Structure 1
Amino acid sequence: MANSSPEIVKSTELKGNTKRSSVLYSQQIAPYFFVFPFIVSFFIFFAYPVFSAITMSFQSVLPGQVEYIGLENYRDLWNPTFMKALWNSTKYTLFTLLVLIPVPLVLAVFLNSKVMVAKNFFRSTLFIPALTSVVVAGTVFRLAFGELEGSLMNTFVMWLGFEKQRWLGQSGLAMFTLVILAAWRWIGVNLLYFMAGLQSIPRELYESADIDGASTWNKFSRITIPLLKPISIYVFTISIYGGYSMFTESYMLWSGNRSPNDIGLTIVGYLYRNGLEQNNLGLGSAVGIALLLITFVITIGQLKLFGMFRKEE
């Protein structure tokens, strides 16, 4: 048989390379190729742990012994300690929402104003606390809000003529300390979100409003607030999640997971107490699933309330 000519071989190799290239650069395959790493990480680091937690929540998990006990963990879950942890987390979330939504929004409007000076300085100053380790921040705040007369906050209140306070020993003051710590750390982050949203609002809208004689409040309420709705809902959502998942701040303020009368106990702290400190992984998993369901219901509810599932006309 005669040998194939070099032109035929070259043409065949070219067709093969072209076919492989068309597969690699296919518009149908490319999206799956780029999404594949996220899908793998999602199943490994989220779906599988959630499935395992659901399974363990129906088990009694002890060293070397695993036994299915049905809904027993969920029956044991509804106790006064869990209800107090749930109430503490809910109060903390509500108070942080009252601070971490309006304050960064107003600050962002000021920093986005043309008359504002030293904008970069204030942006950097407000964002620096977010770069601080929560362990370091919790330790510093524990010292600043100490019970001794020489602590920073007691020195300040005594200078104003009041008596020294047990900041971390009373329920109301303890919650106040936690909210102040959250505000100090996260106002700068939410500020950046609102700043990004303000940058996307066309300047022509404000110029048209100025021509029509609109006041500063009218421009803020009728232009800024409506057009910042997607950013506001996003910040609101992550703030809810951050509030209910708070643990390290409380742990560092009280140098552990045991605050007086559990005034600093959160849902995640209760999960940590049962799952790791008491080696009751079954009950700890039930606490985690309850937390997941609570945050899911609240998040879906607020998204529904703000019309995020409504089709735009």
Structure 2
Amino acid sequence: MREQAQTRWWYRLLYSQRSAPYVFVLPFILSFLLFFLYPVISTVIMSFQEVLPGMTSFIGPENYRDLINPAFGRAIMNSVLYTVLTLVVLIPLPLLLAVLLNSKRMPGKGVFRSALFMPALTSVVVAGTIFRLIFGELDGSLLNSIVSWFGIEPQKWLTSAGTGMFALIVLALWRWLGVNLLYFMSGLQNIPPELYEAAQIDGASRLQSLLRITIPLLRPVTIYVFTISIYAGLAMFTESFMLWNGNNSPNDIGLTIVGYLYRQGLEQNSMGFGAAVGIVLLVFALILNLIQLRFFGLFRKED
């Protein structure tokens, strides 16, 4: 009888209307506490410590003071520049391609969608290795062979800051264009076609329909793509690591914030200093996303 009463008690708890929302939310809360909040708190504590094998000592804000150095400044500049350039490329271009592929007059739409999305399924390690060969400094590398057709001398693409960043942007464009394209196409599917028909009856051109109907109604998708692109840009590491075949690019032209964290925390075994770099990256990304959400997103009141 007691076991039946307990079973009935748990049954009533799980299937009651009051407790059901908490039961459904519980897995997310547990995963958030275990895999996000606890690591963040541990990292904050570690950033005020000197962590050595078998010894941990509290040193206060010394790790944060040590962040004021040329290498970390270069890493911030590279990450910010990479993020800005990827935003400039990976938002308007997928949007325009999505509009073209969403058109009824576009032939072979399924083929183009599959071809543009295929790079996202490729491993970053494989893609970085291939692009390192494409941007190689030998005369027989693919890009040097192409520019030689136009009478341009072979270049050492990965030894200067400008061409090195160009290689990173091309890799990001090749890899993530199809993903952002699918996001925008999903948003286009939710726009009622009657709006375009009414605009056409009123004499609106395709450009006017794009500016007055498509772009405003794609605002939620654009905000989402903008947000994840900021995070992806600041968190970029593997692409740079594979493109330069390591974390030591010439004059740190490919060094990013995560790359600097990897160098200090793992390569030089300074876990406390690496934790400070991670906290700065977290705060930096959070501030940037809050700013863009304040001006373009969730915190803006609708009329």
Structure-2-length-normalised TM-score:
0.96
Q: Secondary structure at the match of 1:114?
A: coil
Task: Provide the residue aligned with 1:4 in structure 2.
Answer: none
Alignment of 1:171-210 (within 5 A): 171-210=161-200
What pairs up with 1:151-166 in 2 under 5 angstroms? 151-166=141-156
Residue 77 of structure 1: CA displacement? 0.7
User: Counterpart of 2:284 in 1: which secondary structure?
Assistant: helix
SS at the partner of 1:161? coil
**Which moved further from structure 2: 299-308 or 165-174?**
299-308
Kept after mapping to 1: 8 A contact 2:223/2:297: no
2:250 equivalent to 1:297: no
Query: Is the aligned partner of 1:148 residue 2:138?
Result: yes
Q: Select the residue among 205, 221, 239 that pairs with 2:211.
A: 221
More moved, 188-197 vs 23-32: 23-32
State the partner residue of 2:236: 246
Q: Describe the superposition over 1:233-277 as per-residue Cα deviations: whole angstroms up to 9, x where unpaired.
A: 100010000000000000001111000000000000000000000
1:136 aligned to which of 126, 142, 147:
126
Equivalent of residue 113 in structure 1, options 70, 87, 103? 103
Alpha-carbon distance in structure 2 between the residues aligned to 1:168 and 1:65: 40
1:73-112 CA deviation, whole Å, 9 max, x = no partner? 0000111100000000001001111110000000000010
Structure 1 residues 150 and 33: CA distance shift in structure 2, 3 A: same
Kept in 1, the 8 Å contact 2:87–2:226? The answer is: yes
Secondary structure at 1:67's aligned position in 2?
A: strand
SS at 1:77's partner residue?
A: coil
1:234 maps to amino acid: Y
Contact residue 83 and residue 229 of structure 2 kept, 8 A: yes
Per the alignment, residue 288 of structure 1 pairs with: 278
Question: Structure 1 vs Structure 2: percent identity of aligned residues?
Answer: 63
| Secondary structure in structure 1 of the residue aligned to 2:51 | strand
Q: Which amino acid aligns with 2:141?
A: S
The structure 1 segments of at least 4 consecutive aligned residues displaced by more than 6 Å after TM superposition are: 15-19
For 2:14 and 2:249, the matched residues in 1 are separated by: 58
**Secondary structure at the counterpart of residue 242 of structure 1:** helix
* Shift of residue 22, structure 1, vs aligned partner: 4.0
The total of aligned residue pairs comes to 301
Corresponding residue to 2:75 among 85, 96, 99: 85
2:159 counterpart SS class: coil
How far residue 45 of structure 1 moved from its aligned partner, in angstroms, is 1.1
Deviation at 1:21? 4.3
Kindly state the Cα deviation for residue 16 of structure 1 after the two structures are TM-superposed: 8.8
**Once the two structures are superposed, what CA deviation does each residue of 1:168-207 show, in whole Å capped at 9, x if it has no partner?**
0011000000000000000000000000000000111001
**Which whole-Å CA distance do the structure 1 matches of 2:60 and 2:68 have between them?**
15
Shift of 1:311: 3.4
What residue identity is the alignment partner of 1:65? M
Three-state SS of the structure 2 residue aligned to 1:230 is: helix
The runs of 5 or more residues in structure 2 that have no matched partner are: none
User: What is the deviation of 1:20?
Assistant: 5.4
CA-CA distance at 1:24 after TM superposition: 2.5
Are positions 1:264 and 2:244 aligned together? no
- Pairing partner for 1:54 from 44, 50, 71: 44
Aligned residue type for 1:309: F
| TM-score, normalisation: structure 1 | 0.93
Q: Residue 296 and residue 17 in structure 1: after superposition, are their counterparts in 2 closer, same or farther (change >3 A)? A: closer
C-alpha change, 1:20 and 1:100, in structure 2 (3 Å) is same
- Superposed CA deviations along residues 22-58 of structure 1, whole A, max 9, x for unmatched, are 4322222112112111111111111111111100100
Query: What is the CA–CA distance in structure 1 between the aligned matches of 2:210 and 2:21, rounded to whole Å?
Result: 40
**1:310, CA displacement in angstroms?**
2.7
Larger Rg: 1
2:21 aligned to which of 8, 24, 31: 31
- Measured in 1, the distance between the counterparts of 2:159 and 2:9 equals 72
Alignment match, 1:125: 115
